[in-house]
Chain A
Amino acid sequence: MHIRKFDHDYSRRVFLAKTGTMAGAGVLAPLWPMIANSADISKAYPDELMSVEGYTKGKVNTGDMITAANVDYVKDLLPPITYKQIKEMGRKIKIVPTTKDVTKMFPADYLEATLRNAGKGRIDKDNNITTAEGKPWIGGNPFPDAKTGLELMGNLTMSWGRANNCVYAIKDYDIGPDGKLAYQYDFGWFEQNAIARLGAAGPYMEGAGHADKLRYQMVLFTGPSDVKGTAYLSTWYNDQRKFPDLVGYVPAFKRVRKFPTNQRFEPLVAGITLYLSDAWAAGDPLLTWGNFKVIDRRPMLGAVSQNWYGDDANWEAPVHGGPQGITFQDTSYEMCPECIVVEAEPVGYPRAPVGKKRVWIDVRNMEFVAYHTYDRRGELFKSFEPIFSQYVKGNLKDMDHTGKNPTWSWTGVMSHDIQTNRMSRFRQNKECTGGIKSARNVDGMYEKFLTEQAVARLGT
């Protein structure tokens, strides 16, 4: 049954009324009580927000490919750079059904922690995120039904990979404006939360020296040979006003290079468009940015499901588009019924080339579906586009550390500098050069990978 009252304009009016207020997610009913009860969002949104057919009045259907020919029907549902890629650069995206069961949009233990700790998150007098008792955060999204820009960005910042630790075996392809491959790197990305941890061992990492830390994170390049062993180690503090410590390691000289702590707008190695600042749409400590504003609530198309290529031996995705047909990863998008659009400015970086970032966050899992930066003139600068998925394809599954639940993670990222027209596309592979395998909740990761000594040892 279609209730005419809940038409397209009804949703738009509701979003308009909610923008700038402290309202929670959901159009027909509050979202999070439903998620807590049944993980089903069906009753929170009208059909128009859960199917592209409804939104476009049948001009685009689930299963269709969005191309330059029909992208204008869904222009309002796409971030501007994605629209430009489809309209002008030969990109195509496939529309898949909207995920109504949100358990498919979280790692199981992270969703459990989010629900368990709901209502316990606080913003303290310094604007840091704590528990009600003023202790470091204890796991899951601190603000499941976030309403302010700070809360929304806080969710993204406190845990990136939504696991105690993650290893991502990554292949990076850097495509030039001519559409040709300019650089290619293999690297491992290692991250481990020191607080906000999940599971029976408690929310805080054991051992001395971790109490004031949020996370440890390391990038280790394993190929090609001229960068093999090059590594960056970043140590984040729990106090989000402090810059992380950043060191680089150059194996040929067996030396550590200390970087200025606020050097967050430079690529790690030649040819990559990704800045540290871009990672997870929250690559910098929360409070080194400011002027957080919720500017919009709206439905969007986002790459949040059916994006795992388990049928490929190394989980590689097919590519297409651009001048040489290799610029974009094949990606499935679905209607995200409600996204909150947040803007923030790099107030802690007097030399930043970025004027502001705009992040589109899906209220179902409080994960970002799109991220754009703008230069200081307000012109579009870069897109850091995540591709998420539960690791299920037909009968193929990749299971999490418990062996009971399918893995949920990102599968790809496309970082596109629209001004120089350089694209870096990353793929989380099963394994990359150097024998690094993607995994989560790995024992002993800190000692093996996340200290200066480990970094030096790995580079030899």
Chain B
Amino acid sequence: MESIRHKIARIAVRNSWVSLAITLVITAVFGYGLLHVEAKTIFSDLFPKTHPFVQTFKDHPNFGNPLTVTMMVKRTDGKDIFQAETMDKIWKMSRDVDLVPGVDHDQIISVATAKARYTVLTSDGIYSNPIMDEKAPTTDEELTEVRRRINESPVVRTFLVSQDSTAAIINATFIERLVDYGVVFEGVQDIIKKYSDGQHTVYVAGWPTLTGWVYHFGSDTIKIFAVTLSLMFIFLLIAMRNMAGVLTPALVSTFSAIWGFGFVGWIHNPVEPLLMVVPLLLIARSFSHSVQATERYYELLAECGDKKKAAEMSLAVMLAPGTLGIFTDVCGLLLVALAPIPALERFSLFTGFWALMLVPTSVIMTPVLLSLLPAPKNVEKLVGHSKESGLINKLLNVTLTGLAGLSTGKAAKTTAFVFVVLGVISVALMLRLQVGNPVEGSNLLRYDSEFNTAVREINKSFPGVMTLEVIFEGKEGRIVRQSDTLLSMRNLQRCLESQPHPPTATLSMADYAPEANRLFNGGNPKWSLIDRDDASASAAASALLLGTSPVAFSHIANFEQTNATVSLWYANNKQETVDLALVDTHLCLDGIGLDHKNFRIRLASGSIALQQSINDTVDKYQWYIMAGINLVIAIGCTLAYRSFAAALILLVPVNLANIMLTAYMVMAGMGLDVNTLPILAIGIGVGIDYGIYMLSRICEEYKDCQHIGDAIKHSLVTCGKAILFTALLMTIGIVPWYFLSELKFLSDMGLLLCVVMTINMVLALVLVPLLVYLFNPKFVSSEHQLLSESVDGLLDTPSHAAASQADA
């Protein structure tokens, strides 16, 4: 009786024009979806939505200055900022940033804006005047006066002018509804260009700037795509040197790309530009599956000499292993969604669907297209039967035969020993893997990027740009006007500041209100203490906010004054610092209590907390994802091969590959983070493909020769060659990301994908045959039609003949 895969092969190939037409129609439908594809970064989607820190951040998004652009003007010639030209720059930059679209006009703060004030007490009242008068100071007297005023204003001195007086800060906060990160980025870059000169450097940090950089570099994606696809195409051209062999992988990859992108267009799911390397990987995977099938087609064509028959046979034999390989890919990609990070969930759906569509577009359509295109004239050369086979083929044959020697005969035990040693070393290294990959600034960008440089420079001169926010969430009334709130804030700050590793600065309403209390009571420092009753707290807050919009304090209290925060700055955001900060904060809060009558205290928001939330999630979910993938593969392969041993033989190399990848990351000084987590999942998907192709081929070769050593050798020079070839092809597709992308995120992913593919390829070519050779499992010699790559008798069965007759 004709099997399903034979039936599919027969229908698809013998009705090749119909198959192509159906594919083109579906492609057109998905192609329409391309019109709605949107590539954008949603920063809040990069964080794990279930983590308490992220929930706190989402409930109180205004704390931690997520929409603030911080510009620092730094004198580079050793002079301080109290020079006419520097003051003029600060004044003009403060005015120019007010022209950037989406800026909140009430939230531009620098020594040049009216919000930076000094206070004078006189017998007839309190004067609170802007530090600069109606223009930037120009004369010596004016400059001296401005210096004096700044020195008399503690908050300005701490947060707007550096301690060594060589740098000043201009903060501009944007309105979320109106902000366009690309536009803000361009506007701020213009300011940098305009005001930087030989004596002044302008550094810019803040989340809108970071997003702007991501967009800026993200626009290189199309360029890199073009380079990498061109390289893959050229490689294919050199290796195949025939139209069918080059056009087919290119066409099926184009179909799959249109289907994948069209799908997200139809469902209006924005594509995360940061993860664009994965679609490229899928294009490479499509190439890979297509090349595997094409190589098999060449072999069969060399045997039977009829392109239609060869195409049909190749589809019949490659359908099952190809589908199983893709199934594991899909599972790997979908399981990434276990980590509750919305960007990864969207990514998982997008790439999982695309990967699934490789079955029709790549596995099925490759033989269909091959049957339609002219048969290559250099088949003998390509399969290495000819004496004139090319240099590449000869080199591949020599290499693969050598590899076969490592997995069989006397060398097998030595190779096994080497793998055990490598495994032990890798495990030892793996245990040293750090979760988190902290840098000052963002790990999305390179260390020496303008953004990360700016963050480091600002951190050097000021309390910093990265904070941990302890949120005071109101239950009743305007809590910043209540005594218990101000007292709890003050106690928390004092407790943290007295710890062995104190923050570099802290800020809350408990700093501002007592100062207002002191000034309105005549200026004596003894009035810096607020009476412990709500009336006194409210009076101090009222005095503070008199004639001022609450948005001036929106970094520490919301507009309605019903929620507030204690901002904590730390010297850096390295894991050790963050851990200590969290321990200290918990310790101090134990004494203060989390639940009060009118408010509750929630940990935490700010960039340090968000970083920690990702690390916690990655640490937790990497095990779930790995376990899930192992389970799916174990079940899938056990069913497909009807042998648990087969599943084990496939799982050992892919898990070892991951351990080795982790060891590489430790050696390269990389930590496990949200950048690297998907690679672990994808890596297993890639590795298992190679293993399935190799194991299936060994089984079939064994049936022919009944000698495990020979079966392995034959498998390596045929299937192994295809694996080696496709691995090279994919590496060529991915490696340019490492060199061409300015985004460290994409570089890291590109590099790790190359590493994991190389490791998986070597393990599929050496360890899989080695395990089969050493354990000689029963399934190798048993009948397992599902994954058979054998073509023996395929075209001679009566049912098939009858079907052929009917078609004719």
Contact = CB atoms under 8 A, between A and B. Distances in A.
Interface string A258-275: 111011001111110000
22 contacts: A183-B560, A226-B481, A230-B542, A252-B535, A252-B538, A253-B520, A253-B521, A256-B125, A256-B126, A257-B128, A257-B520, A258-B125, A258-B127, A262-B134, A266-B549, A270-B545, A270-B561, A351-B114, A376-B98, A379-B101, A419-B104, A419-B105
Contact of B549 (A247, A262, A267, A421): A267
B511 interface: no
Interface in B528-578: 535-536, 538-539, 541-543, 545-551, 559-561
A257 B546 contact: yes
A39 interface: no
Nearest to B559: A182
Contacts of B551: 420
Chain A interface residue count: which class?
A: 35 or more
A252 B98 contact: no
Contacts of A4: none
A263 B125 contact: no
Contacts of A420: 104, 106, 175, 551
Contacts of A419: 104-105, 175, 178
A335 B671 CA distance: 69
A353 interface: yes
Given A183-B560, A252-B539, A353-B106, A421 B129 contact: no
A381 interface: yes
A375 interface: yes
A381 B104 CA distance: 10
A209 interface: no
Contacts of B747: none
A227 interface: yes
Nearest to A182: B560
Given A227-B542, A260-B114, A271 B128 contact: no
B130 interface: yes
A250 B105 contact: no
Contacts of A259: 128, 547
A176 interface: yes
The winner among B538, B545, B547 for most chain A CB atoms within 10 A is: B547
B45 to A, nearest CB: 22
A337 interface: no
Contacts of B560: 176, 182-183, 271
Contact of A353 (B98, B545, B548): B98
A252 B543 contact: yes
Contacts of A379: 101
Contacts of A350: 134-135
Interface in A202-248: 226-227, 230, 232, 247-248
A255 interface: yes
A328 B541 CA distance: 30
Nearest to B127: A258
Contacts of B134: 262, 350-351
B546 A176 contact: no
B520 A250 contact: yes
Contacts of B545: 269-270
A255 B125 contact: yes
B639 interface: no
Interface secondary structure of A, over-half rule: loop
B549 A263 contact: no
B177 interface: yes
A377 interface: yes
B99 interface: yes
Given A256-B125, A257-B128, A257-B546, 11 more contacts: A183-B560, A227-B542, A250-B543, A252-B538, A257-B547, A259-B547, A268-B547, A269-B547, A270-B550, A350-B135, A353-B105
Contacts, number: 110
B559 A266 contact: no
A401 B610 CA distance: 64
Interface of B: 95, 98-99, 101, 104-106, 113-114, 122, 124-130, 134-135, 175, 177-178, 478, 481, 520-521, 535-536, 538-539, 541-543, 545-551, 559-561
Contacts of A421: 177
A451 B290 CA distance: 89
Contacts of B177: 177, 421
A421 to B, nearest CB: 7
A250 B547 contact: no
Nearest to A266: B547
A248 B520 contact: no
A253 B539 contact: yes
A315 to B, nearest CB: 27
Contacts of B539: 250, 252-253
Interface in A78-105: none
A269 B101 contact: no
B800 to A, nearest CB: 67
Contacts of B521: 253
A255 B114 contact: no
Contacts of A269: 545-547
Nearest to A180: B560
A381 B98 CA distance: 13
The winner among B104, B114, B129, B550 for most chain A CB atoms within 10 A is: B114
A226 B481 CA distance: 9
A230 B129 CA distance: 20
A268 B99 CA distance: 25
Nearest to B177: A421
B99 A376 contact: yes
Contacts of A255: 125-126, 520
B104 A250 contact: no
Contact of A260 (B104, B106, B129): B129
Interface string A155-184: 000000000000000000000110000110
